[in-house]
Chains A and B, each alone.
Chain A
């Protein structure tokens, strides 16, 4: 299987009373909480971590796009991916963004991804998210009832440009471009592998299945809450006549590793509680603009008791007050010794038939030192235990050829456990 290092690039400067004094970490996060020095330092540390993951043999590194957001300060995945194209040597670069409906003309995205793919020697995986309603509808003002139609048009332009060598005119409802010139294109032909990230909408499952794309389920609420969503995708793959190849599915998972489970509880407690009580404190105002979710998905949500349970789990997080014990018990964060973590990931991947795990190893207000430790333990001690999973039975058709080899970590020994748990509180409003 493939193990990727997924980075949200979280903001560590939320105050200790954030859950009591502030409505939301997203869309209307209080701009006065922003600390440019902290962001500058954090982003450099985060890029160092991704470079380190590449050296440790991670199969891929992931970037994504969010706006007006305190759990993710990566507004432009293109910018970060460009840095990674130079700073990394072997890992695939999974671009879970940009949200293509946000950019006019979409050729900007086609050219940016093409540039990163060329710079990296053909290591890009193109993720084409519709984008969350928080980002697209509220932070960037897109119409919720037409953003999906716009997305499909944008996708059509990009794919036509990547797959051909001739200029063409595009006359859509949302985009009108008389001279689309595919001059600047990716190294990978006809195009990089495509993963479609999604949060569980029926149309996205169907579309990804019909187009033979991989699907990346981006839930922060653990494998148990993901079952119905994942099954929905596999049902659509079957309907489209596709194989249940586990490499067509990716999932995200927060992970905290230490010498023992007890140590991990201690080492990651503050960061995990910061993550779920501060970083994911999102106002319900921004969750359900009409039309963003299709009628078909709405029907499924209303009728499915499992879906209702999953939604309640998300709502409970919005309510705040989650303890580390609850977070771990629900599987939101997998913790333990390397062997214990490897076992849990393996079990989840087998249960959900998932061949790509996007591991979130730097989360909440975790200090850089602990983040590096977590990444190193994963690379040296967890990943090697999982590399062979699904590899004999299935071929990975959604992976760049340039990254097909499994790499070993750079030489080194297992790291010593750090003593510092989280970012110094002085970060807030420093």
Chain B
């Protein structure tokens, strides 16, 4: 599907924004692995929505802005700035936020701190909570050659979506590896070591409808975490588990995930009407 890309400047650092489709605005944030070069999940949503994919600082297409983000609050305010500039959110709720993996911890914080900005929140395999009986697995404490297998049930698809474009020469492949490393660095800087920055103390502030979506085979954040997120929420919450999908559920089961998100957004709209 056709998309356009632009850069926005936040704190002297460029952030990449990819836009596709038309309709009500859905903002997409990615986590482990960074932002893929193309996404069937985003394409599906864009059939009926305006989809705005924001590359967080350090992720693919954005500058090394993460070097200047020293605290979780820095990440939260930078992401808020990006949503405001890229999607037009502000005083009134105009955005459905879909945050996955590591960015889920930021998505939860935004919904808690700036509830008037969002119409809804979808968290897909989010980090942000810590259960000592079943701790989240730190991707970066695994051997590099095992990391893809831990993120996805379909490694071949990961290569096609996150890897260097087919036909790239060695120089382009090398640069692609460096960019992927930078995206990992940014995510490590945000989540190290557990992704737990105290969100549990703020989840009760979230009053917008929430969809908690999990890959049934998520090897990094077990699906059991859905109940930890759901329990303190003050608004309506729906939990969905996607079969044969791992941590990157939107990669492993793009159509199913998109269908569930659209169904949630539509139901929420109808309820609001």
Using CB atoms and an 8 Å cutoff, list the residues of chain A in contact with chain B: 138, 141, 143-146, 149, 173-174, 283-286, 288-291, 295, 298-299, 302-303
On whether the beta carbons of B181 and A284 are closer than 8 Å, the reply is no
Task: List 29 A-B pairs, Cβ < 8 Å.
Answer: A141-B193, A143-B189, A143-B192, A144-B185, A144-B192, A145-B185, A145-B188, A149-B67, A283-B143, A284-B143, A284-B145, A285-B142, A289-B140, A289-B141, A290-B140, A290-B181, A290-B184, A290-B185, A290-B188, A291-B185, A291-B188, A291-B189, A295-B178, A295-B181, A295-B182, A298-B181, A299-B174, A299-B178, A302-B174
Q: Considering the chains assembled together, what is the distance between the CA atoms of A299 and B142 in angstroms? A: 22
**With a CB–CB cut-off of 8 A, which chain B residues contact A291?**
184-185, 188-189
Q: Considering the chains assembled together, what is the distance between the CA atoms of A24 and B15 in angstroms? A: 40
Q: Considering the chains assembled together, what is the distance between the CA atoms of A146 and B70 in angstroms? A: 8
Q: Considering the chains assembled together, what is the distance between the CA atoms of A298 and B176 in angstroms? A: 12
Q: Considering the chains assembled together, what is the distance between the CA atoms of A221 and B193 in angstroms? A: 31
Q: Considering the chains assembled together, what is the distance between the CA atoms of A174 and B74 in angstroms? A: 14
On whether the beta carbons of B188 and A143 are closer than 8 Å, the reply is yes
**With a CB–CB cut-off of 8 A, which chain A residues contact B70?**
146, 173-174
On whether the beta carbons of B188 and A303 are closer than 8 Å, the reply is no
Interchain CB contact (< 8 A) of A284 among B144, B174, B184, B189: B144
Q: Considering the chains assembled together, what is the distance between the CA atoms of A144 and B70 in angstroms? A: 13
**With a CB–CB cut-off of 8 A, which chain B residues contact A298?**
177-178, 181
With an 8 A cutoff between CB atoms, is B207 at the interface? Answer: no
Distance to closest chain A CB from B75 (angstroms): 12
Q: Considering the chains assembled together, what is the distance between the CA atoms of A288 and B177 in angstroms? A: 14
- Name B46-90 residues within 8 Å CB distance of A: 64, 66-67, 70
Q: Considering the chains assembled together, what is the distance between the CA atoms of A338 and B182 in angstroms? A: 49
Distance to closest chain B CB from A133 (angstroms): 10
Q: Considering the chains assembled together, what is the distance between the CA atoms of A145 and B190 in angstroms? A: 9
Task: Evaluate whether A145 and B189 lie within 8 angstroms (CB atoms) in the complex, with A284-B143, A289-B140 already known.
Answer: yes
Distance to closest chain A CB from B195 (angstroms): 12
Distance to closest chain A CB from B114 (angstroms): 24
With an 8 A cutoff between CB atoms, is B17 at the interface? Answer: no
Contact with A along B190-203 (1 / 0, CB 8 A): 00110000000000
Q: Considering the chains assembled together, what is the distance between the CA atoms of A290 and B33 in angstroms? A: 12
On whether the beta carbons of B178 and A288 are closer than 8 Å, the reply is no
Contact with A along B163-184 (1 / 0, CB 8 A): 0000000000010011001101
Using CB atoms and an 8 Å cutoff, list the residues of chain B in contact with chain A: 64, 66-67, 70, 140-145, 174, 177-178, 181-182, 184-189, 192-193
Q: Considering the chains assembled together, what is the distance between the CA atoms of A290 and B58 in angstroms? A: 12
Q: Which 7 A-B pairs have the closest CB atoms?
A: A145-B189, A290-B184, A291-B185, A143-B192, A284-B143, A290-B185, A290-B188
Q: Considering the chains assembled together, what is the distance between the CA atoms of A285 and B192 in angstroms? A: 15
On whether the beta carbons of A285 and B141 are closer than 8 Å, the reply is yes
**With a CB–CB cut-off of 8 A, which chain B residues contact A295?**
64, 178, 181-182, 185
On whether the beta carbons of B174 and A303 are closer than 8 Å, the reply is yes
**With a CB–CB cut-off of 8 A, which chain B residues contact A174?**
70
**With a CB–CB cut-off of 8 A, which chain B residues contact A303?**
174
**With a CB–CB cut-off of 8 A, which chain A residues contact B141?**
138, 285-286, 289
Q: Considering the chains assembled together, what is the distance between the CA atoms of A174 and B71 in angstroms? A: 10
Q: Considering the chains assembled together, what is the distance between the CA atoms of A298 and B178 in angstroms? A: 7
Q: Considering the chains assembled together, what is the distance between the CA atoms of A291 and B145 in angstroms? A: 17
Q: Considering the chains assembled together, what is the distance between the CA atoms of A138 and B181 in angstroms? A: 18
Q: Considering the chains assembled together, what is the distance between the CA atoms of A290 and B66 in angstroms? A: 13
On whether the beta carbons of A145 and B192 are closer than 8 Å, the reply is yes
Distance to closest chain A CB from B105 (angstroms): 15
Q: Considering the chains assembled together, what is the distance between the CA atoms of A299 and B64 in angstroms? A: 15
**With a CB–CB cut-off of 8 A, which chain B residues contact A289?**
140-141, 188
Distance to closest chain A CB from B247 (angstroms): 16
Output the residue of A146, A284, A289, A291 with the most chain B CB within 10 A. Answer: A291
Distance to closest chain B CB from A340 (angstroms): 40
**With a CB–CB cut-off of 8 A, which chain A residues contact B186?**
145
**With a CB–CB cut-off of 8 A, which chain A residues contact B188?**
143-145, 289-291
Distance to closest chain A CB from B69 (angstroms): 9
Q: Considering the chains assembled together, what is the distance between the CA atoms of A149 and B187 in angstroms? A: 17
Q: Considering the chains assembled together, what is the distance between the CA atoms of A173 and B74 in angstroms? A: 12
Considering only CB atoms, which chain B residue lies closest to A137 in the complex? B192
